[in-house]
Structure formats: structure tokens, C-alpha cells
Structure 1
Amino acid sequence: MKPKPSFALLLALLWCLTALAETPHIDLTRTREKAKQALLFSKERGYNSRYCILIDMSLPSGVKRFMVWDFKKNNAITSGLVSHGCGRSPWSGEWSKDTPAFSNADGSHCTALGKYTVDARGYSAWGINIKYYLTGLESTNSNAYARQIVFHSWEKVSETEVYPNGTPEGWGCPAISNQTMKTVDALLKKQRKKVLMWVYN
């Protein structure tokens, strides 16, 4: 005779399935539409027409909302967690994991939405000591360079999804995990044309 599963086990299994079903994920249809727009923009400006970086800030910070998009494959080839700015809250907390504030103002400590170019590679005091300077291309992120908003890694950013928890928040820089940055850095170093980064909500 087979033993009957305990009630507690059934409840645990039901909780896991419910949590899995409720975890937000990238809307692939929406993402592909954004990628299509990004490719047109990149071609018009003479930027890289093979890859771009998409960051969907409409998703909670505990899920993978950072993507390196391959225009040729029409799919993400790398994805991961990415931080957003803490705003008026204390640095490195998870205060606005579901509802970040966005701003282009200096001293706001917020992430700025919009399109950027990923520019020169430099030394970072954070993560794996690599950063990429960013130039904001729109009125919503035109102060990025003056605000020292850069693309870097951060040891506080997890390699795996942590939802319903969030990713620690910085002062507005898009910061990713160390391992994800190693992958992205290896790709970026090979590109001759500027890569577009689009942070949208």
C-alpha cells in the first residue's frame, strides 16, 4: 500500500505552485516591440545593430528585468537582476522594489528613464571594478553624465531572482550582478559601434 501524502506536504506544494504562478516575468510581446523600436533607433543613429540593452522597470526589482537583446536572434541572450535608485530612502535597501521613482534631477538618487549610449569603459570601485559611462539621449535622462550615472556591477546584486524580495537600491546607476557583468563586458568589449541601452517603464 502506498503511503498517502500528508496534508502539510500538499499545502506546501500548493503554496509553491501559487508563488510560481504569481511571480512576474518579462512580457515577451512587449519586449520584442521595444526591441523593434530600439533597432530602428540604432540604425538611424548609426549605433550597433546587432545588440542592445533593455531594462524593463515596470517589473519588480527581484525579477530579471535586465536583458542583452540580440536583434538577429530576436531574443535575450543574457538576463539578470538590475538595481534602481533609492530616491529619498536610505542607500542599499529595498524600499521601492515594486514602485521606483524616476528622475533626471541631480541629487535625486533616482534612476532616469530613457535611451542611453553605452560609452567608454573605465575603472569602478564597485563589483568587478569595471564600469561603462552612459550618455543620456533624451530630456528624461540628459543629466546622466553630470550625475555620474554609470553602468557597473555590485556585489549586493544577486545572481538569481529573489522575488518577492527586491534588489538593493543605489543612487540611480543600473547595477547588475558580478557574473552578469563579466558576460556583458566580454560582449561589449568586442563591439565597434556604440550599443544602445533603453531603460523604460
Structure 2
Amino acid sequence: MKKPIILLLCVLLLATIAYYLYNTVYTTDSPVHINKALKKEEPENVTTKTLLSKAKTAKQFVKKNKYNEQVCFLIDMKIRSGAERFFVYDLKADTVITSGVVTHGRCNERWLVGRKYGNEPGCGCTSLGKYKIGNAYNGRFGLAYKLHGLESSNNKAFERFVVLHAHECVPEEEVWSEICQSDGCPTVSPGFLQHLKKIINTSRQPVLLWIYES
């Protein structure tokens, strides 16, 4: 009678050990775990703190320069490209209205690892700084908006043909992988551009777009 009981206890013990080992390996090596770890690199409180700081400066800028004082566009290049890092910000309510995925420049490399910035014609890089969103036109990628760089770090954007436009390679929702890269243009998804279009086209004053690295 003792042998079956001992055997049963041994089976239960082995099953418990196997279950523990399986879960340890799964939660350590699975993509789900890796994705959660990536998300922790961009804690919401840090992003919110940065947005509030940038919005404070943006409020002063738009008021002084007679830009749209209700809304502005903020792009944080420190956030990974697969995450939503293009923020449509309500300056009156101090809140994010909506957000989307946006590319960064590859600096003429086949695939840029990390971040590099530039302002010279032909560099293919993202230029940090404040921009005035200019006139709309239909170009190579359909609807696009001309961008006028307002700082020494991006004052050649118009000359470089850096514009706000959409491309199908940019996902409508955030993904855990990196997304496509541009030649310096802040490129968004087709659906997100339609949201931006409504804001830009109905604004009586220029809309501020600010690309920064927090």
C-alpha cells in the first residue's frame, strides 16, 4: 500500500518541478516577456512628464508667434519607432487628443541603428526642432504638407523637401518591431494623416510641429 502512495507523491513532485521550470523558461524567453520589458522602457509617467514640459514651452511659443493656441503636434524621437510617439496635444486641456506611429530618417543608410540627426541637404536624417506646417499639396506619396524649420537645427527642411506625409509601410497601430525609415520626413500612416488633415485644414493659424528627443 505504501509503494503506490510513494509513487503518486513522486509523480506529483515531478509534475510540480516540471511546471515550475516550464513557466520560468516561458516567462524569461518568450516574446511576450520581451515585449513587456520594452514597454517598461517607456513608462507612462516619464512620457507624460516630458509632454507637459514641452507643452509648457509650446504654449509660450504659439502665443508669441500667433500660431494655433489650441493644438500642436509633438514627436518624441527617444521613443522607439514601433510605438506611438506622434502626439496630437490639446494645449488648453493639457492632454493628448490622439497619437500615432511615425518614422525617423535613416541618414542614407540601408538601415539606421539608433538615432542620428542632420540638417544638410541630402543627409537623409531627421532634423530636430520646431516646424511650421505649411501648405498642402499632392506629391509622390499623395497628400503632403510642406514643413518650415524654425531653428538652426532644422532651418533647411524646406530646401531638403522634408514634408509631413503618409506611407503604407507605417502601421495604423503601434507594433513591437521597428518600422520603416524615411529620408528625413516625419511619415505617418494613411489613417493617421487623415486625423491630422482635419486639424490642419480647419486651423486659421499655423499649427506647430515639434520634433525633439527627450
TM-score interval (norm. to shorter)? 0.7 to 0.9
Task: Give the one of 137, 148, 166 matched to 2:150.
Answer: 137
Deviations 1:1-55 (A, max 9, x none): xxx9966467546643553243243611111110111111110101110010000
Aligned 1:41-56 pairs, distance under 5 A: 41-56=61-76
Deviations 1:103-148 (A, max 9, x none): 001110001000000011111321xx21110000000000000000
Q: CA RMSD in A?
A: 2.0
Q: TM-score, normalised by structure 1?
A: 0.87
What's 2:185 paired with? 173
Query: Residue type matched to 1:144 in 2?
Result: A
Instruction: Indicate the structure (1 or 2) with the bigger Cα radius of gyration.
Output: 2
- Contact 1:124/1:152 (<8 A) preserved: no
- Contact 2:108/2:183 (<8 A) preserved: no
Structure 1 outlier segments of 4+, above 3 Å: 4-15
Task: Give the one of 82, 85, 88 matched to 2:105.
Answer: 85
Aligned 1:107-146 pairs, distance under 5 A: 107-126=122-141, 129-146=142-159
What's 1:150 paired with? 163
Aligned 1:62-81 pairs, distance under 5 A: 62-81=82-101
Return 5+ residue gaps in structure 1 as ranges.
Answer: none
What SS does structure 1 have at the residue aligned with 2:194? helix
Query: Residue type matched to 1:19 in 2?
Result: N
Return 5+ residue gaps in structure 2 as ranges.
Answer: 1-15
- Contact 1:53/1:198 (<8 A) preserved: yes
Task: From the two aligned structures, give the one with the greater helix fraction.
Answer: 2
Q: TM-score, normalised by structure 2?
A: 0.82
Task: Give the one of 18, 33, 36 matched to 1:20.
Answer: 36
What number of residue pairs does the alignment pair up? 191
Alpha-carbon separation, structure 2, partners of 1:36 and 1:57: 19
1:199 aligns with 2:211: yes
Alpha-carbon separation, structure 2, partners of 1:120 and 1:88: 27
What's 2:12 paired with? none
1:61 aligns with 2:81: yes
Query: Residue type matched to 1:50 in 2?
Result: Q
Deviations 1:126-179 (A, max 9, x none): 1xx21110000000000000000000011100112222x212111100000111
- Contact 2:145/2:164 (<8 A) preserved: yes
Alpha-carbon separation, structure 2, partners of 1:75 and 1:28: 9
